[in-house]
Amino acid sequence: MARNPLTAAFARYVMEATVAETGLVTPAMRRIRLVADEPIAFPYTPGQHVRIQINDPLSVQGILRPADTLRTYTIWEFQPEERALELRVHLYEGDGIGLRWAREVEAGERVAFWWPQGDFFIREAPYHLFVGEETAGAAFGPMLRGLDASARVYGVLESESARHDLPMPGSHRLRRVHREGASAASSGTLLAAVAALDLPGDAGAAYVAGEAGTCRLVRDHLVRERNWPRKSIKVKPFWAPGKRGLH
């Protein structure tokens, strides 16, 4: 019997894994460690994400509602020698299928994930600027880990409170600011902290991630107030109020 070409294409980019461990890193950040059935040979660059299969995309429901089949999570740590990768997911308010999976999945459960994707990663530049909140931290961690100790790094990482600060690996440190109950959407707290940064006169490479409205505010500040070219700013909106599956 001839093999379904759709099934063959699907299998080429999907791996099966078991959830090995879960646990809280901060009051609102959960770690999920996956161990694949087979050796992991795919290419990976820190900052990229995988797509977890929440519902079967080849089922009737998956074909009719493809947006409700896959959700995206940034790889926090990649350990090919152990066939493992770790996700860190911020459990912000919401009831989407991706948040429910991240809250409820437990060790021993089986998952399928698509190979790493995305172009949110370090570029060559005289210095690097990182700006975002909790959802951005999961990407910034591996990106900072991948930078040489001699790299020039600036940035701000916002969270709800000091208890919600995600520890960052490596020797580079970002300024921490806290909302203390204010909204993370179109965050004035984060924008003010970026405006207060003492940056070099020339543009570097900026990595701006998190809530979509805040990303726009930060990008516009860099372009209009600091004369950065747009091509020097990589923006990755992970979420927006009332929207599901944004990334």
Looking at CATH, the fold of the domain delimited by 128-239 is given as Rossmann fold (3.40.50)
Beta-carbon contacts of 21 under 8 Å, excluding residues fewer than 6 positions away, are 31, 32, 33, 107
Does the pLDDT at position 235 exceed 50? Answer: yes
Kindly report the length of the chain: 247
Q: How high is the pLDDT of residue 241? A: 85
Give me the percent of the chain exceeding a pLDDT of 90: 77
CATH architecture of 5-117: Beta Barrel (2.40)
Q: How far apart are CA 39 and CA 46, in angstroms?
A: 19
In the chain, CATH 3.40.50.80 sits at: 128-239
pTM: 0.89
In the chain, CATH 2.40.30.10 sits at: 5-117
Q: How far apart are CA 105 and CA 20, in angstroms?
A: 11
pLDDT digits (tens, 9 = 90+) for 63-85: 556 567 889 999 999 999 999 99
